[in-house]
Structure 1
Amino acid sequence: MHMNVAPHLLTEDRSEYERILDDALRNAYAHPDLAEIGKRLTAGQLRTMALNATALITAAAAVEYDHFVKIREEVRSPSGTSVMDAVLTADGDGASGGPGAGLVAIVTVLAPVLAGPAALIFLLVGAVLKVLAPTLTFADTLLTAGWFFAAVAAAGLFCAAVGLLLTALRNRSTEVAASDPPHREADDELFRAREAWRRALLERGILPFLRDALAAAGPAVPPAVPPPRTDRIPKIGYSGPNFSSPNEGSAGTRPRYASPDFSSPDFTGPEFGASERRPD
């Protein structure tokens, strides 16, 4: 399929687009203008945005992609002929052949395709009728027709095989010995076209999109920090008792305690007692 523009990727190239995008996000540190990845937008968010904008990003490298697809198609089918073409050219090569040869080739190709299913149907129906009604002559007619179409299909397959063999032998005889250099040259051209598309997609598509997405996100906003908790016990409508230390309050109201006045008993020594002892 040849495209003048590439508004979107082919299915087989979407994985390559995702790989280039992942490499760009993984190596974002190499680009100073992508240093805000992870602060304003994460790599996952940018990847999702880029996948949603695939058509917009790939349009920046549409010319390179168109050239790459064209070269790839030429490499895949450089001058290849299909099986139909091989059979059509087996009976005549233009000089010795003609309309008759082309007609014979067409019949040779179509005979197995048409005669095979017909033979199967006739043989199956004829066999069923033969089992159900052995004396029915129509069953024998169907079986005969089925074997006829089977023979036609076999003959067509044989002719097609012979034509393919003759074509292969003729192409081998005219094969150029040094056919590898053109193939290598085509592979090199395909490689250069692929690399040009990858480079254009990265430099003109993916990186500008990532820069624009980061710029549109605005400055990084620090996460909100909740205020510290000053009281872990919630107030439920009452307050605790007002406890105060014994030293608080007025000094006049403080009770004062005095120690009892203990004195020794009225007791004198022996000498004092003897001097004042009265005579009996």
Structure 2
Amino acid sequence: MHMNVAPHLLTEDRAEYERVLDDALSTAHARPDLAGVGTRLTVAQLRAMTLNATTLVTSAAAEEYDHFVKVREQNRAALGTRAPAAAAERPGPGAGVVAIFTVMVPVLAGAAAVIFLLVGAVIHALAPTVVFGATLLTAGLVFGALAAAGLLCAAAGLLVTALRNSPVQVSAGGPPDDELSLARDAWRHALLERGILPFLRDVLAATAPPTGSPGPPHP
């Protein structure tokens, strides 16, 4: 079935137009002004006629539709400008190396501290006068301090990453989604009340039987 499309109605919105039409036809039994649906004309016939008159029907809600399209384009433009910024914030290969180094330093330093402290303690216990044992103990304390500093740096890095990826920053900028929803709802309402329903009423009125017919002529 061919459907004429109004010049201002974008292809992506044709399905929305048909949904509003189908909703109106499905609830026609609850509208006294559409009592002729299913008797004078079938739902399929009315649907086909309304689709073929898309240019006329949608022009009744042109102002609301233009506003809806404008808000949608602003929303998409805002999302497009945020995408490169988000990509720029993603860590590259260098950042990955730094992250691995930050994690490995406290692990290796902690392991070295444990080994040096154990060996140094054993040597110092067996031969208190041997200087090497005290040296190992000192080295163990130094590596222990490095491990503690590495843990602090890793914790700080995790905190910075969590703040950078917080939902507040991701959702900042651009028209809010509720503004787009309100614009879409306003267009749908105008399309229904000023476009589809009046057209259906006019079609049903045009197909209504005459209210009276002239009687037979008198002799």
- TM-score using structure 2 length: 0.52
Question: Aligned partner of 2:49: which letter?
Answer: M
**Structure 1 counterpart of 2:186:** 196
What are the Cα deviations for residues 125-168 of structure 1, in whole angstroms up to 9, with x where unaligned? Answer: xxxxxxxxxxxxxxxxxxxxxxxxxxxxxxxxxxxxxxxxxxxx
**Structure 1 counterpart of 2:80:** 80
Alignment of 1:170-185 (within 5 A): 178-179=168-169, 182=172
**Structure 1 counterpart of 2:61:** 61
**Structure 2 counterpart of 1:187:** 177
Relative to structure 1, the CA distance from residue 201 to residue 83 in structure 2 (aligned partners, 3 Å threshold; closer, same or farther) is closer
Q: Which has the higher helix share?
A: 2
SS of equivalent to 1:78: helix
Looking at structure 2, the residues matched to 26 and 83 of structure 1 have their Cα atoms a distance apart, in angstroms, of 41
Matched, 1:28 2:28: yes
Rg (Cα) greater in structure? 1
Relative to structure 1, the CA distance from residue 219 to residue 181 in structure 2 (aligned partners, 3 Å threshold; closer, same or farther) is same
Relative to structure 1, the CA distance from residue 31 to residue 175 in structure 2 (aligned partners, 3 Å threshold; closer, same or farther) is same
Are the counterparts in 1 of residues 74 and 174 from structure 2 also a CA contact under 8 Å? no
What are the Cα deviations for residues 168-216 of structure 1, in whole angstroms up to 9, with x where unaligned? Answer: xxxxx99997335656961010000000000000000000000000001
Which one of the candidate residues 183, 191, 207 is aligned to 1:217? 207
Looking at structure 2, the residues matched to 79 and 184 of structure 1 have their Cα atoms a distance apart, in angstroms, of 7
**Alignment gaps of 5+ in structure 1:** 1-5, 87-172, 221-280
Q: How much has 1:42 moved relative to structure 2?
A: 1.0
How much is the aligned-residue C-alpha RMSD, in angstroms? 3.4
SS of equivalent to 1:203: helix
Relative to structure 1, the CA distance from residue 211 to residue 182 in structure 2 (aligned partners, 3 Å threshold; closer, same or farther) is farther
SS of equivalent to 1:23: helix
Relative to structure 1, the CA distance from residue 183 to residue 43 in structure 2 (aligned partners, 3 Å threshold; closer, same or farther) is farther
Q: How much has 1:8 moved relative to structure 2?
A: 3.9
Are the counterparts in 1 of residues 64 and 183 from structure 2 also a CA contact under 8 Å? yes
Are the counterparts in 2 of residues 7 and 59 from structure 1 also a CA contact under 8 Å? no
**Structure 2 counterpart of 1:38:** 38
Relative to structure 1, the CA distance from residue 183 to residue 194 in structure 2 (aligned partners, 3 Å threshold; closer, same or farther) is farther
Q: How much has 1:77 moved relative to structure 2?
A: 1.4
Looking at structure 2, the residues matched to 190 and 37 of structure 1 have their Cα atoms a distance apart, in angstroms, of 33
Looking at structure 1, the residues matched to 169 and 35 of structure 2 have their Cα atoms a distance apart, in angstroms, of 51
Relative to structure 1, the CA distance from residue 177 to residue 34 in structure 2 (aligned partners, 3 Å threshold; closer, same or farther) is closer
**Structure 1 counterpart of 2:47:** 47
Relative to structure 1, the CA distance from residue 19 to residue 83 in structure 2 (aligned partners, 3 Å threshold; closer, same or farther) is closer
Q: How much has 1:22 moved relative to structure 2?
A: 0.7
- TM-score using structure 1 length: 0.41
Relative to structure 1, the CA distance from residue 41 to residue 8 in structure 2 (aligned partners, 3 Å threshold; closer, same or farther) is farther
Q: How much has 1:59 moved relative to structure 2?
A: 0.3
**Alignment gaps of 5+ in structure 2:** 1-5, 87-162, 211-219
Relative to structure 1, the CA distance from residue 57 to residue 40 in structure 2 (aligned partners, 3 Å threshold; closer, same or farther) is same
Looking at structure 2, the residues matched to 76 and 196 of structure 1 have their Cα atoms a distance apart, in angstroms, of 19
Looking at structure 2, the residues matched to 52 and 208 of structure 1 have their Cα atoms a distance apart, in angstroms, of 15
Question: Aligned partner of 2:20: which letter?
Answer: I
**Structure 1 counterpart of 2:70:** 70
What are the Cα deviations for residues 98-151 of structure 1, in whole angstroms up to 9, with x where unaligned? Answer: xxxxxxxxxxxxxxxxxxxxxxxxxxxxxxxxxxxxxxxxxxxxxxxxxxxxxx
